[in-house]
Amino acid sequence: MNKPSLSQQTARRLYNLIAAEKKLAPGEKLPNELELSQEMGVSRATLRESIRELAAQGVLEVRRGRGTFVSQRVEEINDFGFSALDRVRGQLRDLFELRAVFEPEMAALACRRATREELADILAQGGRVAALIRNGEDRTQADREFHAAIVRATHNEFMARLLPVISQAVETAIVSGQHGDRLAEHTLRDHALLMEFFEKRDPEGARHAMAVHMRHAMDEMELGQDNVKGGA
C-alpha cells in the first residue's frame, strides 16, 4: 500500500475534526483558509486539495463567495468515503491509461484531417479553456469541449465512440480535485503547445504534445503504474 499523500492525510485529519471530535458541526462554516492551514500545519495549497477531496465525497460544501461549510449529510457518510476515493483513483488510472493510448493518435489524425472550420473550433475551445484557467474559473465543460472538438476532427467513427469515455475522464479528473492547481498549470502549458502544432498542421508535433499532456496529468494525479502497485 502506498503511503497517503499529505493532502489525503490532511483530509482525514479534517474529517476527524468533524466526525469524531465534533469540533465542526453540520452546516457550520470552516475557518478561513489561512487560519485553518496554520492550525493544521500545512500549506494553503495542501489544504485546498484536502477540501476538494472532502467536497467530492459530500463531506464539505464549497459555496462560491460564501466559504466552505460542513455538509448537513456528513453524519450519513460512512468512513468518509475513503473506500470510494480508492475506487475513483483506480477508475481514473484506467481511464487515463486508455486516453494515453488513443488521444495522441487522435491529435495526429485531427491535425491532418480537420477542416478549416474544425481547426478554428479546436483553437477557439483551447483558448476558452486557457482563459478560464487564468481567471480561476471552472473549466470542466470547456475542457470536455476542447477534447471533443479534437475527436470530431479525426473523422473516425470508432474514435468518436470513445468520446463519452474521454469526457468522463476529463470531468472526473477536474472534479475529484487531486492536485488541481498544478494540474491546471500543466493543462495551460500543454494545451498551448498542442494548439501551436495544430496551427502549424504538424501531426507528429500534435501527437507528441498530447502524449506529454497525458503523462503530465497522470504524474500530477499520481496515477503511474508504480503508484498503483506500491513500487519496488
Could you tell me if 142 and 183 are in contact, meaning their C-beta atoms sit under 8 angstroms apart? no
Domain range 82-226, CATH architecture? Up-down Bundle (1.20)
The whole-number pLDDT of residue 130 equals 96
- Mean per-residue pLDDT pooled into runs of 10, the chain (232 residues): 72 77 84 91 91 83 87 61 53 81 95 95 96 89 88 86 72 59 86 97 97 88 54 38
6-76, which class in CATH? mainly alpha
Question: DSSP letter string over 26-53?
Answer: TTPBPPPHHHHHHHHTS-HHHHHHHHHH
The whole-number pLDDT of residue 184 equals 85
Q: Which residues in the chain are classed under CATH 1.20.120.530?
A: 82-226
Q: Which residues in the chain are classed under CATH 1.10.10.10?
A: 6-76
**Nearest one of 182, 194, 97 to 146, comparing CA atoms:** 194
The whole-number pLDDT of residue 86 equals 52
The whole-number pLDDT of residue 21 equals 65
Could you tell me if 166 and 103 are in contact, meaning their C-beta atoms sit under 8 angstroms apart? yes
The runs of H, that is alpha helices, within 63-202 are 82-113, 116-134, 140-152, 157-160, 163-176, 180-200
